[in-house]
Structure 1
């Protein structure tokens, strides 16, 4: 099949969305599909061309212009989304008729591109929902204008109904769409996961070098690596670090960027905490040694029912690196960690429960060792992206087969 894969997030940018888009599109290509990726230029680099076509392994990648997202202004971010929507609509016009247009969220405007191109090319439109974008924006106060919020919901419902098929990443997302009136047979769950060939062998030397670099040789290192945003509830870590400031055996490290980073740094400074380190964002390959050095890794979201149907990709990042998980997310994410014996749960936004779970993990090194030895195998049994790509490929093939049958019926009736 010829597939147009639309994603604003794609390497060389760093992040969970970029990793999933690259892995899934590459795996589809490895299965024999002709994959054309519509994406944009890296946000960190100045744009020298309006459009650029390039080959990334077996993928044909079309990069188109966007207004740079400064990550400090909601208006600027909206302009970033809308500019890519327009430019990707234009670049998609130059691709000869595909069999499927596949648009992946979180932001909805990629769905607009997908729907538009599916109408122009008269082909199937598949919409992947990796994030309940409007719901989360409302919950986190990112949509304060009621009119804009209502418009976003109308656009969301429009895209759900116009899509020929919908891919979601959790069972909870599927049920939420069914509750909104989307037919169950129109929805397929393809969860997050990891590519087997990206899993690195654990070595001891990198962990030693990281702990030596930060003078943490005798410390129990508690790591958070990822987006430092409003949804993560990372204030809990600061509160816990404050309560544990006299415990010299534990050090916290937060790696990444986000809108909440400076406020967390300011609070840590005001509390005069010396047991917490803030480190700038690292490339995926650079993070490997930090994962290996960590005694445990934090996955955290705020306490809300919506987050109970969300599975942060960070769960899979830690598991893929054999790093034990300290998870503050209830629901499906917690079930994965506990079912696969990957770590320990604490109640979201509860510093006392966080400390209780952390101290339990610290006091049971044999359990941590067992996790490190077995968790990667557990992960690949259920969340292998190569297997997931086969499931997605089968879904897309069945969708295009139904189209051919419909056309044959129409031709026969004529």
Structure 2
């Protein structure tokens, strides 16, 4: 197949964001498909283009052809800055798409929802079918978070959402809650597949292994951040956006500080809009139990998780955020780390059904603090949960198995006939 992959925030392991699109594209290339990615350049700072253009840079990474539109984006942007960034990418991706030749399918992945517009226009002009991947339920997510207050914009984006679902050949959703949200728009059940975020079993070796290399990495990370061997480390990996509600985690750190507890350390990786406020809170309460690492390239996250005893996947207490399929959660499983969640959704069900961690009340930072007081003396129990987590990742969330499902969906809905598709596979293998 010749696949046109549209993702505004495409990045590689050298970047600090999720690499689902990169890993899937790489897998598709390895299976003999031709993959061209249209993206923005904001998440490709760690890579070097093979050709720099006036508005578009070209990359060739692991066999993937990448067209990166120059389009600044930052988690610190305000609402209108983000809108302008979305519109610029939408227009640029449309122009790039309609000037391409001979693709069999378009695979467009959100967010934002405006990524659907190039796919819709390319479908109309080029007659190429498209599959749409829903990573967040837009516009419901920004509406519930109070980021989209205009009734006019809400109605317009709701119409775009429904139109996109109806025009797509197939829809991939990343969680059961997202599937439910799509079906609520009167979409046929057979048109929707649930393929969650993945556990990268290759990148994240089990952190509980006694391999000397892993032990050395753990000691190096702990020494870098001055963490004592007996201290319990809770890590939140990823962005520090409004949706993450990390003031909850800082609240637990304040509680433990007030309890004069010195054997629990909070490690927050990444960057985002709320980081300055979080740092200000730590300064106000003179917290010495919180570490801000800054952005960590994804390729280095295994070292961080290797030095971690348990992770937390934190979100604000909003119903829509309980439908999320967070990278950090599945990375924790791959690394063989127990995980705490504070969303009363499907991740809570996973944690409790498979004995891989704990759920805490998102309204009570003290509950998290009290749990960590108990866990600091139960590291063997955490290691058992970590083994359970890795086993679950291998059984249900292996990146390669989920990439196979994506490949099958794209093949089933491409413009290639079954006979032509069979001939193509035969020639490419």
Once residues 304 and 11 of structure 1 are traced to their aligned partners in structure 2, the CA distance between those partners, rounded to angstroms, is 28
CA distance in 2: counterparts of 1:168 and 1:157, whole angstroms: 14
- 2:316 corresponds in structure 1 to 302
1:282 aligns with 2:296: yes
1:63 Cα shift? 1.7
Matched, 1:59 2:71: no
Aligned residues: 404
The separation in 1 between residues aligned to 2:3 and 2:416, in whole angstroms, is 16
Q: Could you say what the CA RMSD is over the residues aligned between the two structures, in angstroms?
A: 2.2
Shift in Å at residue 75 of structure 1?
1.3
Decide whether aligned partners of structure 1 residues 187 and 15 sit closer, same or farther in structure 2, where only a CA change above 3 A counts: farther
Mean CA deviation greater in 364-373 or 45-54: 45-54
Seen in structure 2, the aligned counterparts of structure 1 residues 2 and 129 have a Cα distance that, compared at 3 Å, is: same
Q: TM-score by structure 1 length?
A: 0.91
Q: Distance in 2 between matches of 1:288 and 1:400?
A: 36
1:337 offset after TM fit, Å? 2.2
Alignment of 1:221 with 2:233, yes or no, is yes
Report the equivalent of 1:382. Answer: 396
Q: Which residue of 1 aligns with 2:22?
A: 22
C-alpha displacement of 1:52: 2.7
| Cα distance in 2 for residues equivalent to 1:210 and 1:67 | 32
SS in 1 for 2:329: helix
Corresponding residue of 2:425: none
**2:329 corresponding residue in structure 1:** 315
Q: Which runs of 5+ in 1 are unaligned?
A: 406-414
Offset at 1:70?
A: 6.6
Q: Does 1:40 align with 2:40?
A: yes
Alignment of 1:235-274 (within 5 A): 235-245=247-257, 246-274=260-288
**SS at 2:402's partner residue?**
helix
Structure 2 distance, partners of 1:102, 1:48, is 24
For 1:391 and 1:229, the matched residues in 2 are separated by: 30
Corresponding position of 1:106: 111
Q: Report the counterpart of residue 31 of structure 1 in structure 2.
A: 31
CA contact (8 A) 2:11 2:43 kept: no
Within a 5 Å distance, the mapping from 1:148-187 to structure 2 comes to 148-187=153-192
RCO higher in 1 or 2 (8 Å CA, sep ≥ 6)?
2
Q: Distance in 2 between matches of 1:44 and 1:55?
A: 12
Cα deviations by residue, 1:129-179 (Å, 9 ceiling, x for unpaired): 011131111111111222222222222222122212111111221112111
C-alpha distance in 2 between matches for 1:61 and 1:401: 22
**TM-score, with length taken from structure 2:** 0.88
- Mapped contact 1:318–1:324 kept (Cα < 8 A): yes
Distance in 1 (CA, whole Å) between partners of 2:395 and 2:44 is 36
Structure 2 stretches lacking a partner, 5+ long: 208-213, 420-429
Partners of 2:41 and 2:379 in 1: how far apart?
Answer: 45
Given that 2:42 and 2:71 are in contact with CA atoms closer than 8 Å, whether structure 1 keeps it comes out as no
Q: Do 2:24 and 2:403's aligned partners in 1 also have CA atoms closer than 8 Å?
A: yes
Q: Is residue 2:206 matched to residue 1:205? A: no
